[in-house]
Amino acid sequence: MKKNKLNIAIYLSAILLMVGVFLPLANLPIYGDITYNRIAEIESYLVIFFTLSAPVLLFLGKPKLVLLSPISVWAVLLFPALKKIFKAEEERGFFAELGDKATSVMQDFAADLFLNITDFSWGGYVFLLGLVVFTFSCCVRSFMK
């Protein structure tokens, strides 16, 4: 692929990814439409920040560093799942565990979000398409001479 086409793919997929953060990913019966921004607000802004870093790096003439953008985005997206896997079981009181169970529904959904792709709504597919194209185009662009 040519550099210009890859740059355009990075720009367009970055737009898809940033908009996809605010689109409905799924619908829960009582809670309603779920967006990534609604369940993980801070993480969604980190995804937007790291996604914006790729076009900025291209604009500054640093295409080799563009690889850091998708790595950072994936790290933010997978952080809840990794935290859940490596979370050490500590002994806590009954009410602390009950409170954790009550508040962990949305965190569990965020952690399992990318493991249950069949549960996506149309916004989830836009987000996933942007993520895949963004990752691929950034990786290829960073290794081009």
What local confidence, expressed as pLDDT, does residue 80 receive? 74
What is the SS3 assignment for 24?
strand
The domain ranges of the chain are 3-143
- pLDDT of residue 67 exceeding 60, the answer is yes
> CA–CA separation, 24 vs 10, rounded Å?
23
Please check whether residue 57 is in contact with residue 63, taking contact to mean a CB–CB distance below 8 angstroms: yes
Q: For the CA atoms of 50, 64, 55, 110, what is the dihedral angle to 10 degrees?
A: -30
pTM given for the model: 0.75
Nearest to 44 by CA among 27, 19, 26: 19
Q: What is the pLDDT of residues 35-52, one digit of tens each?
A: 888 888 898 999 999 999
Contacts of residue 37, Cβ cutoff 8 Å, sequence gap at least 6: 21, 22, 44, 45
What local confidence, expressed as pLDDT, does residue 46 receive? 93
What's the number of CA atoms in the CB half-sphere (13 Å) around residue 32? 3
For residue 112, what pLDDT band results from cuts at 50, 70 and 90?
Answer: low
- pLDDT of residue 96 exceeding 70, the answer is no
What local confidence, expressed as pLDDT, does residue 78 receive? 85
Angle at 132 between CA 16 and CA 139, to 5 degrees: 110
What local confidence, expressed as pLDDT, does residue 51 receive? 96
Average of per-residue pLDDT across 49-75:
94
For residue 111, what pLDDT band results from cuts at 50, 70 and 90?
Answer: low
Average of per-residue pLDDT across 118-140:
87
